[in-house]
Amino acid sequence: MPYQSTSLTHAKLVAAMFMWGGTWIAGRVVAQELAAPLAVPAIRFMIAGLALAGFALATEGRIPRPQTASEWSAVTGLALTGIFLYALCFFYGLKHVTAGRGALVVALTPVLVALGAWFSGQERMTTLKLTGIVVATLGCLTVIGNGNPVALVQGEVGVGEWLILGCALCWTAYTFIGRKATKTLSALTATLWASLLGAGMIGLAALALGGTEFAAWSWRIWASIMFLAIGGTALAFTWFSDGVRRIGAAKASIFVNLVPVFAVLQAAVLLDERLGLPVIGGGLLVIAGVWLTTQVSEHGATPHSARIHNAIDKEASHARLQ
């Protein structure tokens, strides 16, 4: 493995987080321009699935696939939760919620994963972890309520906020299904087929709902697709994978807390979004709470993408995604 300084590794991780923050901007642009935006994620995940298939061919000489009904069921669960339902919540949620607020809500996901692990008996609860969960939840309620932390219980939260919260729940479910799936499947196989199946599900929904008049799409939509596929998927995941290999999944995952920060900053510059101080304060509470939670539960808080790419790197005998 060629030598690479820690500073360069950190810089690439920051750049990856910057691009993941940018996916919220691209999603907001698509959601605002298209009445039915599902064709965009269908194209994105089809490209991702084909890219992973090409990677498998180049490194293993074949395209691996699930062998049993249980494995196919797990992969279908990944496609349903982390790709199809997530895309529905993401793009339709961004029709009503600004990109910055949406990213701050979804930043709560590691806390939901930690809670799920506790309820299922996979991890124990500690005082510090519980403190982090309470702090992050309070911050998330403040962001959802647009500065009012009790808006949810007062019934003042709109459909957009519920859909964005659905993103966090979908990704939490995807994480736990992914843990089960990768007990018998390689992470590469699980992700490849989840991407292709998810793209098919989204594609069918897109055909039913409309929005597939590709010739009528503006340059902003095509630019968003290219960014989502190349920047937000290929480059960001590759650099995150490289960071996981060089400094470890736990340390690399800490950088994920930068994603909502970058999303808010980019939304302010590119979309002229302005969040109020209470919302920004709530977002800082989310990030602080997630940091506390993940510090005491690195295994539970490690994003599934970290395990995916760590496994891909191992299976490919240190081959590099380019």
- DSSP labels, 138-187: HHHHHHHTTT-TTTTTTT---HHHHHHHHHHHHHHHHHHHHHHHTTTS-H
For residue 122, being part of any structural domain is answered with: yes
For residue 251, being part of any structural domain is answered with: yes
CA distance 140 to 286: 6
pLDDT at 78 over 60: yes
- Residue 118 token pair: 């506790």
Q: What is the DSSP string of 60-126?
A: HSS-----SHHHHHHHHHHIIIIIIIHHHHHHHHTTTS-HHHHHHHHTTHHHHHHHHHHHTTSS---
Report residue 105's pLDDT band, with 50, 70 and 90 as the boundaries: confident
For residue 118, being part of any structural domain is answered with: yes
Report residue 170's pLDDT band, with 50, 70 and 90 as the boundaries: very high
Tell the residue number behind the tokens 């647009």, with chain if given: 146
For residue 74, being part of any structural domain is answered with: yes
Predicted pLDDT of residue 2: 54
pLDDT at 310 over 60: no
pLDDT at 300 over 60: no
For residue 61, being part of any structural domain is answered with: yes
pLDDT at 302 over 70: no
Q: Whole domain around residue 178: which residue ranges?
A: 6-315
Tell the residue number behind the tokens 């496609």, with chain if given: 79
For residue 269, being part of any structural domain is answered with: yes
pLDDT at 101 over 60: yes
**Average of per-residue pLDDT values in the chain:** 82
pLDDT tens for 34-67 read 988 999 999 988 988 888 888 889 988 899 999 9
pLDDT at 155 over 90: no
pLDDT tens for 234-292 read 788 778 867 877 777 667 767 877 888 888 889 988 989 888 888 888 888 888 888 88
Predicted pLDDT of residue 76: 95
For residue 25, being part of any structural domain is answered with: yes
Q: State how many domains the chain has.
A: 1
Name the pTM for this structure: 0.80
pLDDT at 24 over 80: yes
> In 3-state terms, what secondary structure has residue 286?
helix
For residue 1, being part of any structural domain is answered with: no
